[in-house]
Structure 1
């Protein structure tokens, strides 16, 4: 009876998969509308979660990696369809008290949700919503993290915020839907 095959140590696994992950991410990123680096980070995070308390090292790491890249690309495409661009605050005239009340209520709900968010998300979202409109480089410097980490971190924090606000704010209809 031969002993079962032992999985490769993590550093060797990472070294082996780095080039393949870069190539797969580059191939899938354009169609998903995201940066290849964002896909890479998301897949590395998936692998770390799998190794730390999950099912462990995949039996076929290369096949798992290809499937993970495609799954992250699909997730990114779904997210992009639902994300709406941020628009600056519209000036509200005194003639529209109902509009002013609705805007104030939305801002209150947003501030309350941000206050309930985890600390790292609270700091990031507060910095991103700053009236000075800082660049990614300035935000990264302020938070003491790499600029490349901001995109994935922002995505996770907005997802967290979206889940918290779902119960408080009605979900808008899908864009492009005719009435």
Structure 2
């Protein structure tokens, strides 16, 4: 009876978490350079391994799932950065393969960094921390800035809104149907 109840609760947990995992994986996949399905599969494997080891699901499954997706995405980014093609296999062409592409990417980064420095209040420190290449978590950013983790989301929203308005004034917008006026 216990194994049947355990199997039923496990199936309920998996059914409940499926839409959340799909959404989180789609959100993280493009930045990680992997497909959302691969990310989902890695997280399902982590969850099932954890359930088999402990015999119980995480206390807060939704939070655990979000952290697991971000951790798998970071792992995928690190692996992608270290991978090298075999001899005879064509190397992947980077987005900045041309000198013009490299110059445009560098100019965009300079523009964003300069706008970040001009934002008011705590925004420069917060946005700089969020743009850090190590991809810190909210907990790490809040600890580094000495603010509560709960206030980080609203503060981030205000700072990004300010940055968006600053950049909109500097970068020409598009006209009707994407045409530049």
State TM-score, norm by structure 2.
Answer: 0.44
The structure carrying a bigger helix percent of its residues is: 2
